[in-house]
Amino acid sequence: MRITVSGLPGSGTTSLSRYLAERHGFEMISAGEVFRQLAQEHSMDLTAFGRLAEQDPSFDMMIDQRQTEIASRRDNIIVEGRLSGWMVKDADLKIWLFAPLACRLKRIIFRDHVPDEKAATEITTERERCEARRYLVYYNIDINDLSLYHLVLNSEHWGVTALGAIADTAIAGLKN
Amino acid (1-letter code) at residue 99: A
Q: State the Cα–Cα distance between residues 109 and 114, nearest whole angstrom.
A: 5
Assigned domain for 172 exists: no
Assigned domain for 159 exists: yes
Domain containing 61: what range?
2-164
pLDDT band at 18 (very low <50, low <70, confident <90, very high): very high
Assigned domain for 138 exists: yes
Assigned domain for 16 exists: yes
pLDDT band at 16 (very low <50, low <70, confident <90, very high): very high
- 16 contacts 163 by C-beta, under 8 angstroms: yes
Amino acid (1-letter code) at residue 122: E
- 38 contacts 53 by C-beta, under 8 angstroms: no
Whether the predicted pLDDT of 19 surpasses 80: yes
Q: Which of 70, 41, 46 is nearest to 79 (CA)?
A: 70
Assigned domain for 170 exists: no
Q: Would strands 77-80 and 151-154 be described as parallel, antiparallel, or unpaired?
A: unpaired
The per-residue pLDDT for 38 is: 80
Number of domains in the chain: 1
Per-residue pLDDT tens digits for 81-123: 999 999 999 999 999 999 999 999 999 988 888 888 898 899 8
Per-residue pLDDT tens digits for 132-148: 998 999 899 999 999 99
Q: State the Cα–Cα distance between residues 93 and 168, nearest whole angstrom.
A: 11
For residue 141, list its beta bridge partners.
Answer: none
Side-chain-side CA neighbours of residue 55 (13 Å): 5
For residue 79, list its beta bridge partners.
Answer: 4, 29
pTM, whole model, 2 decimals?
A: 0.86
Whether the predicted pLDDT of 156 surpasses 90: yes
Higher pLDDT, 38 or 109: 109
Assigned domain for 13 exists: yes
Least confident of 41-50, 141-150, 159-168: 41-50
> CATH no. for residue 95?
3.40.50.300
Q: Give the residue-averaged pLDDT of 40-60.
A: 84
